[in-house]
Amino acid sequence: MRRLACAALMAFGAIASSAAAPGEDPVRIEPLHFIPTENPSARPIPAGAPARVRLSSPDLQSLADALQVRLSAGQDSFEYVIGPYPQLPGATTRTWLEPTFVIDFNEPAFEPLRKELGEGDSKLTRANLVEYVADFIEASEDRNWDIASVVAVRRAGDCSEHAVFTAALARLQGMPARVAIGVALVSEDGELGTFGHAWAEILENGKWEVADAALHGLDGTVRYLPLGLLEDEGMGYSMDLIRTMRIWIDRVVVLGAQ
Amino acid sequence: MFKATAFALSLLTGVSAYGADEPKWLTDARAREGKILKPTEIRSKDGWFKARVPGKLVGIIEKVEGSYTVELDIGADVNVACEVYPEGINLANALRVTFGNLIKSSEKSQGKVDLRVLEASDAGAHGAVPYLSLTWLYRVAAADGARVGALKQFAMEKGPAGVYCAHNEFGYTKSFAAVTRAFAESLEAVTTGLATYYTEISTFSMAGQEVGVAVATLERDSEGDTRARQMTAMLIATTDGAVQSQDSERIDWLRPDGSLINSSNTDVSNGEVENSLSLQRDEGTWIVDGEVQGKAVKAQLPKDSQPGTWVIQAQQLRALLAEPDAVGREHSIGIWLAANPDKLTVEKTKILARLGDNQFSARGEFGGIGADLKLDKASGTPSGAEIKVGPIDARLERIYVNGSF
């Protein structure tokens, strides 16, 4: 399974490492955003088919609320179908077109891009935009959560930088865009894995669609489960990131295709 | 301290981590120790600092480009190298950068470093001196065959000075530890610092691994005002065999009653200033000024904001904990945080239960983060905390306290 270079949910930039006492087997070091995923049947899920999964969480009620699932008393997990892309309700007072502290496409760093990409009738499609950003940014784990103008200059980062920059270029071109935070269920080389992830959403024909440059070109299938939106794109954005992180999945059991 | 030796070696030898056997030559190399030498005094040529360390000084100690280089023979093939920085250092970044420099230098002189493994990390304090340390294994694909190296690193802060030490050789772990501990305990430097009347040091851990250290100090100036400094340094391993560093420093100037005069905060991520902000009161309004991610920012706190301070918070909690009906009561204070700079962040503390004579359990909430706290009745500050946010399970443990306020 390809390791995704994404530290989107790592507000503290943390890696989980488990200590092994002397003489014990060491525990493999895994980043926090890798979510333990089991596929008991070992059967792949056909591309395009909704995936039926069982989700566990340290705060199951919050996860159920986020996914609009009703829990029964005593449940320690619940089934969920990752199917058509869910539409998260965002702040209704926003156009998701405006420059903000994080999505700051009004900064001088975007001037060359504004000229290169064009505006109005010549604007890129969502697919072209994703491809452009994937080429523009070099994958790197060194960045925490750069604002868009920093990404425009550094051209490096993980999924959060891809998401923020994609949203900025989309807004620059007049397309409403926002940053979603959640998990991605990835099928690749016959294996399934789940990862904490961030990506952009672009509004098309009244629906929010995924614009994920970080996973562009992945030779596999990605199923997205948004759990929150970056709503506060102001100077205090990191507190909003922490808010979104409170909803978390700590185990996924793949039950098969729906 | 985290140990993942077998895992590290499995990477070096390319076999499964589970049940991997260490080659004998490597076991022997790791186990090498010299006789720990009797401490001798070392002193910089200009007299700025002195210390007593168990090693033979090689050469003289001179200040070059802002720091003093100290080379110590500890009886190994390779000497211990230390650097003393009068202006201080960012502890986490110092370890990250110097390991990176070693890799670059090895690649220039020997060949590509095709493997590097963080074998151990530690954070703690020698008395009032906080430190971070790392142990690395690395493999160089040299033209005449693969070579494996080991680097021990240590960084500490004592007063305004920072010290970095490293030993690039297998083994001699105890000798290196003796040198660094002696540096921490005996370093004396000519400083004009304020009088420190309170110090507390805590460590951060995640999943049982010590990853960082936090220090809070209170110093009084000649006018009776207090300089309250909070420093944190944290190192995070990444999947590509490197580390990320986070260093932060916050300084609040406080009046004798603990109220805020002004504040400044600097966060350095991987050696780059991520934000540098100040908070000043100007004609009745609190003004935030500085840079966030290189972008100039200027903002006002909402009208009638009165930022609290951790000193006032601790004093008020201390008073609350002294009440017979403390359990069940709640305390709330608005604090200015650089992570949320244009408004105050409310920190709430609810007292849950008494834990013996001097401790209470409490639930803290701030900015959407919840923490299970152990509150110390004497200081009003947490002696321990557990913070769970999504996948993060971080613990804070206070390991040193001196003084009172």
Please tell me what DSSP assigns to residue A48: T
Residue-wise DSSP of B282-310: ETTEEEEEEEETTEEEEEEPPTT---B-H
Q: Are A59 and A78 in contact (CB under 8 A)?
A: no
**Residues A17, B209: C-beta atoms closer than 8 Å:** yes
Flag whether residue B265 sits within 8 Å of chain A, measured between CB atoms. no
A104 alpha carbon, distance to own chain's centre: 20
Q: Which among A6, A17, A183 is the top mutation candidate for probing chain B, defined by the most B β-carbons within 10 Å of its own β-carbon? A: A17
**Residues B19, A242: C-beta atoms closer than 8 Å:** no
Q: Considering CB atoms only, which of B240, B244, B297 is closest to A235?
A: B297
In a 13 Å sphere around the CA of A94, the CA atoms on its Cβ side amount to 18
C-alpha span between A99 and B64 (Å, rounded): 47
Closest among B239, B242, B230 to B270, alpha carbons compared: B242
Q: Considering CB atoms only, which of B10, B208, B368 is closest to A19?
A: B208
Chain A contacts of B244, Cβ < 8 Å? Answer: 13, 141-142
Residue-wise DSSP of A129-191: HHHHHHHHSEE-SS-S---HHHHHHH-EESHHHHHHHHHHHHHHTT--EEEEEEEEEEEETTE
At A154-173, the pLDDT tens digits run 999 999 999 999 999 999 99
Token pair listed for A228: 């929150």
**Residues A9, B211: C-beta atoms closer than 8 Å:** no
Please tell me what DSSP assigns to residue A110: G
Mean pLDDT across the stretch A227-254?
90
Closest among A27, A62, A5, A35 to A254, alpha carbons compared: A35
Q: Are A177 and A95 in contact (CB under 8 A)?
A: no
At B112, the amino acid letter reads K
Q: What pLDDT score does A28 carry?
A: 33
Percent over 90 (pLDDT), chain A: 58
Q: Assign A10 a pLDDT band (cuts: 50, 70, 90).
A: very low
Chain A, chain B: beta-carbon pairs less than 8 Å apart:
137
Token pair listed for B66: 């802002």
Closest among B195, B122, B202, B211 to B400, alpha carbons compared: B202
Per DSSP, the three-state class of B26 is: helix
How close does chain A come to B235, measured CA to CA in Å?
9
**Residues B389, A20: C-beta atoms closer than 8 Å:** no
Residues 6+ apart with CB under 8 A from A48: A221
Q: Considering CB atoms only, which of B209, B242, B392 is closest to A12?
A: B392
In what helix (H) or strand (E) does residue B317 lie, and over which residues does it extend?
Answer: helix B310-321
Q: Which residue has the tokens 């935009």?
A: A129
Per DSSP, the three-state class of B398 is: strand
**Residues B269, A144: C-beta atoms closer than 8 Å:** yes
Q: What pLDDT score does A119 carry?
A: 63
Q: What pLDDT score does A31 carry?
A: 54
Q: What pLDDT score does A144 carry?
A: 82
**Residues B389, A246: C-beta atoms closer than 8 Å:** yes
ipTM score for this prediction? 0.79
Q: What pLDDT score does A122 carry?
A: 65
A183 vs A17, which has greater pLDDT?
A: A183
Inform me whether the pLDDT recorded for A3 exceeds 80: no
Chain B contacts of A233, Cβ < 8 Å? Answer: none
Q: Considering CB atoms only, which of B239, B343, B368 is closest to A141?
A: B239
At A35-72, the pLDDT tens digits run 999 999 888 888 889 999 999 998 899 999 989 899 99
**Residues A235, B274: C-beta atoms closer than 8 Å:** no
- Catalogue the long-range contacts made by B290-293 (C-beta closer than 8 Å, 24 or more residues apart): B292/A101, B292/A147, B292/A235, B292/B341, B293/A146, B293/A147, B293/A149, B293/A150
Per DSSP, the three-state class of B347 is: strand
Chain A contacts of B2, Cβ < 8 Å? Answer: 17, 19
Q: How far is CA B162 from CA A6, B90, B126, B130, B154, in A?
A: 33, 8, 14, 10, 11
**Residues A14, B294: C-beta atoms closer than 8 Å:** no
Parallel, antiparallel, or unpaired: how do β-strands A156-157 and A138-139 relate? Answer: parallel
**Residues A239, B206: C-beta atoms closer than 8 Å:** no
How close does chain A come to B57, measured CA to CA in Å?
36
Q: How far is CA B275 from CA A56, A65, A238, B264, B321, in A?
A: 36, 35, 12, 10, 36
Q: Which among A235, A239, A242, A247 is the top mutation candidate for probing chain B, defined by the most B β-carbons within 10 Å of its own β-carbon? A: A235
- Please give the model's pTM, rounded to 2 decimal places: 0.86
| Residue A199 CB neighbours (<10 A) | 27
At B99, the amino acid letter reads F
- Catalogue the long-range contacts made by B295-301 (C-beta closer than 8 Å, 24 or more residues apart): B295/A101, B295/A104, B295/A107, B295/A147, B295/A149, B297/A101, B297/A235, B297/B341, B299/A235, B299/B341, B299/B342, B300/B342, B301/B336, B301/B342, B301/B343, B301/B344
How close does chain A come to B134, measured CA to CA in Å?
15
Q: What pLDDT score does B270 carry?
A: 92
At A70, the amino acid letter reads R
Inform me whether the pLDDT recorded for A107 exceeds 90: yes
How close does chain B come to A17, measured CA to CA in Å?
6
Tell me the pLDDT of chain B (405 aa) as tens digits: 222 223 233 333 332 233 346 788 888 888 899 888 899 999 999 999 999 999 999 999 999 999 999 999 999 999 999 999 999 999 999 999 999 999 999 999 889 999 888 888 899 999 999 999 999 999 999 888 888 999 999 999 998 899 999 999 999 999 999 999 999 999 999 887 788 999 999 999 987 788 999 999 999 999 999 999 999 999 988 777 788 899 999 999 999 999 999 999 999 999 999 999 999 999 999 999 999 999 999 999 999 999 999 999 999 999 999 999 999 999 999 999 999 999 999 999 999 999 999 999 999 998 878 899 999 999 999 999 999 887 788 999 999 999 999
C-alpha span between A97 and A184 (Å, rounded): 25
Q: How far is CA B192 from CA A170, B158, B221, B269, in A?
A: 54, 13, 11, 29
In what helix (H) or strand (E) does residue B163 lie, and over which residues does it extend?
Answer: strand B161-167
B264 vs A190, which has greater pLDDT?
A: B264
Token pair listed for B387: 């913070």
Chain B contacts of A197, Cβ < 8 Å? Answer: none
Looking at chain B, which residue has its C-alpha nearest residue A5?
A: B239
How close does chain A come to B371, measured CA to CA in Å?
12
Q: What pLDDT score does A37 carry?
A: 94
Greatest distance between any 2 Cα atoms in chain A: 66
Task: Specify the range with the lowest mean pLDDT, choosing from A145-149, A212-216, B116-120.
Answer: B116-120
Closest among A117, A97, A90, A92 to A171, alpha carbons compared: A97
Q: What pLDDT score does B342 carry?
A: 94
Q: Are B395 and B204 in contact (CB under 8 A)?
A: yes
**Residues B391, A248: C-beta atoms closer than 8 Å:** yes
Flag whether residue B292 sits within 8 Å of chain A, measured between CB atoms. yes
Q: Which among B3, B116, B236 is the top mutation candidate for probing chain A, defined by the most A β-carbons within 10 Å of its own β-carbon? A: B236
Flag whether residue B17 sits within 8 Å of chain A, measured between CB atoms. yes
Closest among B360, B355, B303 to B330, alpha carbons compared: B360
How close does chain A come to B119, measured CA to CA in Å?
11
What are the structural domains, with CATH classification, of chain B? 9-193 (3.40.1000)
C-alpha span between A214 and A162 (Å, rounded): 6
**Residues A246, B368: C-beta atoms closer than 8 Å:** yes
Flag whether residue B342 sits within 8 Å of chain A, measured between CB atoms. yes
The Cα angle at residue A168 between residues A106 and A247, in degrees rounded to 5: 130
Q: Which among B9, B116, B392, B396 is the top mutation candidate for probing chain A, defined by the most A β-carbons within 10 Å of its own β-carbon? A: B392
Per DSSP, the three-state class of B279 is: strand
Q: What pLDDT score does A22 carry?
A: 34
Indicate the length of chain B as a whole number.
405
Token pair listed for A36: 């333990």
Token pair listed for B151: 């680097």
C-alpha span between A105 and A148 (Å, rounded): 7
Please tell me what DSSP assigns to residue B107: H
Token pair listed for B178: 């003796």
Q: Considering CB atoms only, which of B4, B269, B337 is closest to A29?
A: B4
Flag whether residue B388 sits within 8 Å of chain A, measured between CB atoms. yes
Sheet holding B49-53, edge to edge: B40-43, B49-53, B188-189
Q: What pLDDT score does B10 carry?
A: 30
Q: Which residue has the tokens 């408004």?
A: B343
Token pair listed for B223: 């006018």
Q: Which among A9, A147, A149, A242 is the top mutation candidate for probing chain B, defined by the most B β-carbons within 10 Å of its own β-carbon? A: A242
**Residues A248, B295: C-beta atoms closer than 8 Å:** no
C-alpha span between A235 and B342 (Å, rounded): 7
**Residues A29, B270: C-beta atoms closer than 8 Å:** no
